[in-house]
Homo-oligomer: A and B are copies of this chain.
Amino acid sequence: MLVVQKYGGSSVADAGRIRRVARRVAGVRDGGNDVVVVVSAMGDTTDDLVQLVGEVSDNPPGREIDVILSTGEQVSIALLTMALKDLGKKAVSLTGVQAGILTDSAHTRARILKIDTARIEKELKDGNIVVVAGFQGVDAQGDITTLGRGGSDTTAVALAAAMRADLCEIYTDVEGVYTADPRVVPGARKLEAVSYEEMLELANLGAVVLHPRSVELAMQYGIPLHVRSSFNNYPGTVIKEVESVEKALVVTGVAYDLNVAKIGVFNVFDKPGIAYRLFKVLAGEKINVDMIVQSSMRDGKNDISFTCARGDLKKALEVVERLHGELGADGYNGDDGVAKVSIVGAGMVSNPGVAATMFEALAENNVNIEMISTSEIKVSCIINKDDAVKAVRVLHKKFNLAEEPGLDG
């Protein structure tokens, strides 16, 4: 069996943890498996390097940021390989360049274009455990690139896809994917399995277990991911095709996101191209718009509301100020006192009334809904920030998420 494992920064934060990871990897190797291990930079290394960059330059070029940040993973791979050799295992470290991880040239947020697996395959054939630096690659010019947020997860999934791995394990500092944030909902339960689609929604909704990029990639290539803790041996959560998730739950989990701001633009012209104009300019300013709601208020006039990250609120309001005459708006406002609370579940699509149950639960508890957006497997509501924790708890209870689902669940 070919196993790809990924260990995050907290799993390799010091010498002791690196030796522990080495023992775990060696155990998998002893089971007769080929093993490719992807590692992140140790603990806070990346933050330390970013700080160093800040001391030298106010406006560091992306190419050079990548040269410096990529050293973090380079240190980890060498140390883990040393620890594996101390355990008597054959092992070899490979940087992104050496592992053949070819990317575009978008420094600090590069995309993997192709993996040339020749070197990895040679090393596996020679009996080596192959330790690959996550988060980094090389462009056509031979320049070092980094993949941006979620980069090491993406490296692991892309390698698993390219190598047709049998298993891709993502080791992290949480035990898996939960029905809600366990710090907010004491009864939150670890899920045995979720579908890619559910995980994508959960990831996009602020559950930080996996970056959406890596989930998308896994979905695209049908790679099952096992998310689990490197600090114990409990099984974690498997993320896989919805058909193979044994029982599609109506509601799998409840998520919330406090990094939200809401903008309302009132009474814009009701004619083609108005929404296009507004959101094109916002995109041009690199403002990532999340929810969009347009509602016809009366003949010839509309309200448009949308949400973005809190840090983009000021810039978004400047765009609206600039465009409001052109849009025919008679007013606008911005609000960063909001939160997004969402329910996610692959079974929702075949269960009408789930959204209504959500609204009912919120209404019963005096939580006012300011915006609603739905997809086939998700319902999100914008509510007052102060109600966020209450809303998550109420919804977790309403959908009985603390209980193991029964056969009819």
Contact surface of A with B, Cβ cutoff 8 Å: 14-15, 18-19, 49, 52-53, 55-61, 63-65, 67-68, 70-71, 74-75, 77-79, 81-83, 85-86, 92-93, 95, 97-98, 119, 142-144
Q: Give the oligomeric copy count.
A: 2
Secondary structure at chain A's binding surface: helix, strand, loop or mixed?
Answer: helix
In the complex, the answer to whether B82 meets A61 with C-beta atoms within 8 Å is: yes
CA distance A98 to B119 in the complex (A): 19
Query: Min CB distance, A215 to chain B, in Å?
Result: 30
The residues of B that contact A74 with a CB separation of less than 8 Å are 67-68, 70-71, 74
Query: Min CB distance, A72 to chain B, in Å?
Result: 8
The residues of B that contact A68 with a CB separation of less than 8 Å are 74-75, 78-79
Can you list 9 pairs linking A and B with CB atoms under 8 Å apart? A14-B55, A15-B55, A56-B83, A60-B82, A61-B82, A63-B93, A67-B74, A68-B75, A71-B74
In the complex, the answer to whether B79 meets A56 with C-beta atoms within 8 Å is: yes
In the complex, the answer to whether B85 meets A61 with C-beta atoms within 8 Å is: yes
Given contacts A71-B74, A86-B58, contact A93 B81 (CB under 8 A): no
In the complex, the answer to whether A57 meets B75 with C-beta atoms within 8 Å is: no
Residue of B57, B81, B92 near A82 (CB, 8 A) is B57
In the complex, the answer to whether B52 meets A79 with C-beta atoms within 8 Å is: yes
The residues of B that contact A143 with a CB separation of less than 8 Å are 98
In the complex, the answer to whether A75 meets B59 with C-beta atoms within 8 Å is: no
CA distance A63 to B128 in the complex (A): 14
The residues of B that contact A63 with a CB separation of less than 8 Å are 92-93
The residues of B that contact A144 with a CB separation of less than 8 Å are 95
The residues of B that contact A58 with a CB separation of less than 8 Å are 86
In the complex, the answer to whether A53 meets B79 with C-beta atoms within 8 Å is: yes
CA distance A77 to B58 in the complex (A): 17
